Chains A and B, each alone.
Chain A
Amino acid sequence: MQIVTATHHVGDWTVVTVAGDLDVVGGPDLRQAVMREVQAGRNRLVLDLTGVDFLDSFGLGVIVGALKRVRLLDGDLRLVVPEPRLQRVFEVCDLDRVFEMYPDAQAAGT
């Protein structure tokens, strides 16, 4: 199953739509997708995790890595995390204090 299902733009943000399990299997695909966007010069990214069924520390690590990568290029990363189940994983690791989280992609891109 493809972990990144689509990309589109909201304002000057590139929204990467993610679906499925963001774990040791799905995580590397997301890492590659982020690298592709960054290499193409798009470093203001929104990761839309609305369709993510499962997130663990591997997926969190990929998201932290994505933030680090875009910030090195003066970009930024925002997250769409509407599911309390996923929000909890961020909270438990204090990462809700690191990332800007939005309820939907439209809100993240404005």
Chain B
Amino acid sequence: MSGGDENADDDMAVADFRPGEIVLEIPARTEYVSFVRVVVAAAAEIEPHMDVDRIDDLRVAVSEATTNAIEAHGLRGVDDRIRIQCNLADDEVAVVVHDQGMGFEPEEVPTLPEPDTPERLLHEDGLGVHLMEMLADEAEISSTDSGTDVRLVVYSSKRRRKKSDG
């Protein structure tokens, strides 16, 4: 390989490198959900303007997405790993949970009955998507029949202040 080619490889490596990105791949087993929570929370703590309460919210949202991803792999019977990308920026932490399950229609998740009605107790599950949407500042679900990406973003206190000032 010539020196010129080596430089091209170096350029490519630099272009691929994203500062503040952590990538985690886990077996699709429920025992790993708590591990993901620990890693994502520890990563978010690196951001100096991220409040503890917001990190707690992110832990719950990421737990929901990871649990759903593991379930999706189980339903499809695939052994592939689940990929979790965590991007730390100056004013936010963004996490993408990617699975290769069969996908679902987020719009088809049933809405929950009012809490003071007896029907509410019939819903022991189905709270996960609601929790992700309520706890993250941004929650985006992109699903096809070959997999689902859930992107969760939590803003730092600095950005939330800026937003409320603006």
Contacts and interface: CB of A to CB of B under 8 A. Distances in A.
A42 to B, nearest CB: 20
Chain B, interface residues (CB within 8 Å), range = 20 to 34
B31 interface: yes
A97 B116 contact: yes
A74 interface: no
B83 to A, nearest CB: 19
5 contacts: A23-B33, A54-B59, A56-B128, A61-B125, A98-B115
Q: Which 6 A-B pairs have the closest CB atoms?
A: A57-B127, A61-B124, A94-B115, A97-B115, A57-B128, A68-B121
Contacts of B120: 64, 98
Interface in A52-79: 54-58, 60-62, 64-65, 67-68, 71
A25 B34 contact: yes
B131 A93 contact: yes
B22 interface: no
Interface of B: 30-31, 33-34, 37, 53, 56-57, 59-60, 63-64, 67, 70, 112, 114-116, 120-125, 127-128, 130-131, 134-135
Interface in A6-26: 21, 23-25
Given A68-B121, A97-B116, A23 B67 contact: yes
Interface residues of A, number: 26
Given A24-B67, A64-B120, A92-B134, 10 more contacts: A21-B34, A54-B59, A54-B60, A55-B60, A56-B67, A61-B127, A65-B124, A85-B56, A97-B115, A97-B116
